[in-house]
A and B are shown apart, each in its own frame.
Chain A
Amino acid sequence: MLAVQNLEVVYEDVILVLKGVSLAVPDGAVVALLGGNGAGKTTVLRAITGLLDVHRGSVTKGSVTLDGEPIHALDAPAIVAAGIGQVMEGRRIFSEFTVDENLRVGGHRAPRAEIPARLDRIYDLFPVLAERRRSVAGYLSGGEQQMLAIGRAMMAEPRVLLLDEPSLGLAPLVVQRIRDLIVDINRAGTSVLLVEQNANMALSIADHGYILETGKVVMDKPAAELREDEDVREFYLGLRQEGAASFRDVKHYKRRKRWLS
């Protein structure tokens, strides 16, 4: 199990962004981490994967553990080696590389002898990529690039896969496709922490969900309950009643009433 306990993260030594976040990704689960822009979702992932340094951030309190072993003091390559893979926000494929080269970078730490078999497995999972293995990745469509980013992360055969807004900027049909792929990956035995603003998509496949607002977890429930929750339906699933006041006003009102009391 991947567990984050009471995590506090500060950027540039002064900007407090996470204020005691706790969450857990049990083995085999799909866990959704929801929240609006700037809530701190990406920061949670950076803290787990050792990428805070790159952004002048640091963990000032709390811990990240994998099966009870603390990993927050490890560097990013060691965390990959420990079995945590990630698909970063914005896909971040190497656009000048071919599809094949992108995947091979993902297998950087894998035993050399296993690379061909792993490539085959990824190409089975993503036939579109197989057709274009020699193409320059920058010319792929947005959906294909997202698949490539996921395939690249899977080359390391992680135990836990972290995905940062994989549906961002993709057409609804493509989002469906990505969603199904995440389900396939999870069925094959990889736990998933899915960061999304698209709560609809995320809650449709998650077992459990967390809602993050300005650096705090404000709600933490089984996904089925979140799907039924009035507030979540209104503010994250876009099922708001006509005639309500502006999003921001209602949200503040509701929050005060229901979550911060």
Chain B
Amino acid sequence: MDLLLPGLLRGVGIGSLYALLAVSFVIIYRATTVVNFAQPALMILGSYFTALFAVQLGLPFPLAVLLAMAALAVVGAVTERVAMRPLVGQPVFSAAMVTVGVFIVLTMVANRLIGPGIIVVGDPWGIEFLRVGSLTVFQSDVARTVLGLGAVGAVGLFLKRSRVGLAMRATSLDQETALAQGVDVGRMFSLAWAISAALAGLAGMLVGTGSGGLEATAALIALKALPVIILGGIDSIEGAVVAGLLVGVAEALTRVYQPLYAPWLGANFDVVVPYVILMATLMVRPYGLFGTPEVERV
């Protein structure tokens, strides 16, 4: 029993990170019906900018994180304007392929910036932990949960309550009708990319902290978001959060219990768990837990 609670908490921490990444995919998908495969590169750029502002320039950590997110928002908006806007009206498959190109370019940029070493993001929590009674909680898990879910909640509120958020949702429902109401649909696309990139940037910070440094290949953790978004239903923010937490917890508990009860499944079985959950769910609900049936998949 004393394994369960720590396992759950670790799972919620990593799950919040997955949720954050998944939501960053969902925001662009909802605006443009394109799955943005450049997301991992945006995440790594987020780690880089956090390191730049916090460590190299020595700014206070919270300020560094905000600046990094702002920088990523600019990168996202510019990318949309330059690489994606010309493709409006083309099949979404072509657009998705272009995002793969954007991934390659941005990864090259990131590698150039980072160099061969590792990024030390400046680590306010490191491997510190809090003690609550007999329970120990990693600070990095607390940070991931609070900041990850907090950012997602803030974006959700913005979409739900603000005038621009309403226009973004209108655009995702029916672009032509939104245009006819005077909504600048192109601006909504840029804004979606900006928000999404800022969230990915925050994820980059959360991946980079609590681990003592980050290699460029850590970008691949962002791909964990793919089973999560398919599980959640690719057009649903709530779905992305629930699925992210589910996958995180399932992974963490597998890591705790599988070596004890099912060692014959081999080492690192937890890596497979998201896909097992995914396949089991899709057999019952082909559109994911919260998805809309007519969503087109790329």
Residues of A that sit less than 8 Å from B by CB: 49-51, 54, 56, 75-77, 80-81, 86, 88, 92, 94, 96-97, 101, 104-106, 108-109, 112, 152-153, 156
Knowing A77-B184, A104-B166, A108-B167, the reply to whether A88 touches B179 (Cβ < 8 A) is no
Tell me which of B89, B173, B177, B182 contacts A77 (CB under 8 A).
B182
Q: How far is the CA of A164 from the CA of B176 in the complex (A)?
A: 15
Tell me which of B166, B176, B182 contacts A54 (CB under 8 A).
B176
Please tell me the number of chain B residues within 8 Å of chain A, measured between CB atoms: 18
Across the A-B interface, give the 5 residue pairs with the lowest CB-CB distance, nearest first.
Answer: A80-B182, A109-B182, A76-B179, A92-B177, A77-B182
Known: A105-B166, A156-B181. 17 other contacts (CB 8 A): A51-B176, A51-B180, A54-B175, A54-B176, A75-B184, A80-B182, A92-B177, A97-B173, A101-B166, A105-B167, A105-B183, A108-B163, A108-B166, A108-B167, A108-B181, A108-B182, A152-B181
21 contacting pairs across A/B (C-beta < 8 A): A49-B180, A51-B179, A54-B175, A54-B179, A75-B184, A76-B179, A77-B182, A80-B182, A88-B176, A88-B177, A88-B180, A92-B174, A94-B170, A94-B177, A97-B169, A101-B166, A104-B166, A105-B167, A105-B178, A108-B163, A108-B183
A residues less than 8 Å from B177 (CB atoms): 88, 92, 94
Is the contact region of chain B dominated by helix, strand, or loop, or is it mixed?
helix
A residues less than 8 Å from B178 (CB atoms): 105
Nearest CB to that of A54 among chain B residues?
Answer: B176
Knowing A104-B166, A108-B167, the reply to whether A96 touches B180 (Cβ < 8 A) is no
B residues less than 8 Å from A56 (CB atoms): 89
B residues less than 8 Å from A49 (CB atoms): 180
Q: How far is the CA of A153 from the CA of B182 in the complex (A)?
A: 10
B181–A96 CB distance below 8 A: no
B residues less than 8 Å from A51 (CB atoms): 176, 179-180
User: What's the least CB distance linking B243 to chain A, in Å?
Assistant: 21
Q: How far is the CA of A96 from the CA of B235 in the complex (A)?
A: 14
B182–A94 CB distance below 8 A: no
B182–A76 CB distance below 8 A: yes
A residues less than 8 Å from B173 (CB atoms): 94, 96-97
